[in-house]
């Protein structure tokens, strides 16, 4: 899998903050909820306020696999500045510039690290991957290097505290 980088306008950045960019992109590309889109920012509520963490301001990444014209048509939308491309061939016709999946996965990990660094004792969290994937629990502590959290899980037939890498936790 590869990704297409899209540069956002000021309106696009506002859509990130409002949480409406994902819906707009999928609608304008004519794709469903299964189509991969990565917004390198995350908005979550902490107490009574919304917090937006930006890993890479001004950009969004969408999965490849559509017709090039579908991507380039986004440039007619007020929330997009440009679709990243390179001139190619003897006639210098634009071609999409693609980013390898490994690079986008690195960005996703960096974003999770940013979010997990904001975790505190008693925060409610969801596990994103691993043995405890999709379980929800409460942070009860951290190890000395603060790269692992102790998370209390209460299920119908089991109550346990597990040590979970911070990058695998998402607060809600």
Q: What is the pLDDT of residues 105-116, one digit of tens each?
A: 999 888 877 767
The string of DSSP codes covering 9-70 is -HHHHHHHHHT-HHHHHHHHHT--TTS-EE-SEEEEEETTEEEEEESSTTEEEEES-S-HHH
The model carries a pTM of 0.70
- The residue segments making up the domain with residue 132 are 119-171
What residues contact 35, with CB distance under 8 A and at least 6 apart? 26, 29, 62, 63
| Residue 52 binned pLDDT confidence (cut-offs 50, 70, 90) | confident
- Domain co-membership, 95 together with 123: no
- Domain co-membership, 85 together with 165: no
- Domain co-membership, 96 together with 156: no
Q: Which residue has the tokens 């960019």?
A: 21
In which element (H, E) is residue 105 found? helix 101-116
User: Domain with 154 in it: what CATH number?
Assistant: 2.30.30.30
Rounded to whole angstroms, how far apart are CA atoms 150 and 114? Answer: 18
- Domain co-membership, 82 together with 19: yes
Q: What is the mean pLDDT of the chain?
A: 90
- Domain co-membership, 10 together with 38: yes
- Domain co-membership, 151 together with 74: no
Q: What is the pLDDT of residue 47?
A: 60
- Domain co-membership, 109 together with 124: no
- Domain co-membership, 107 together with 39: yes
Whether the CB-CB separation of 5 and 56 falls below 8 Å is answered with no
Question: What are the structure tokens assigned to 105, written together?
Answer: 């996965």
- Domain co-membership, 29 together with 111: yes
User: Domain with 8 in it: what CATH number?
Assistant: 3.30.70.940
- Domain co-membership, 94 together with 126: no
Number of domains forming the structure of the chain? 2
- Domain co-membership, 91 together with 12: yes
Q: What is the pLDDT of residue 119?
A: 87
Q: What is the pLDDT of residues 100-142, one digit of tens each?
A: 999 999 998 888 777 677 789 999 999 988 899 999 999 999 9
């Amino acid at each position: 899998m590869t990704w297409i980088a899209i540069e956002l306008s000021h309106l696009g950045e506002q859509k990130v903050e409002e949480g409406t960019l994902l819906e707009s992109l999928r609608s304008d590309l004519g794709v469903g909820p299964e189509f991969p889109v990565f917004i390198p920012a995350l908005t979550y509520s902490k107490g009574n306020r919304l917090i937006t963490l930006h890993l890479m301001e001004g950009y969004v990444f969408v999965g490849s696999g559509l017709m090039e014209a579908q991507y380039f048509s986004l440039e007619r939308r007020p929330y997009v500045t440009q679709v990243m491309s390179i001139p190619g061939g003897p006639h210098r016709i634009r071609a999409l510039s693609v980013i390898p999946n490994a690079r986008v996965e690195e960005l996703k990990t960096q974003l999770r690290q940013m979010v997990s660094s904001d975790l505190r004792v008693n925060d409610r969290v969801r596990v994103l991957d691993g043995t405890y994937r999709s379980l929800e629990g409460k942070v009860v502590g951290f190890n000395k290097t603060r790269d692992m959290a102790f998370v209390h899980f209460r299920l119908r037939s089991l109550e346990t505290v597990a040590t979970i890498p911070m990058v695998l936790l998402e607060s809600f």
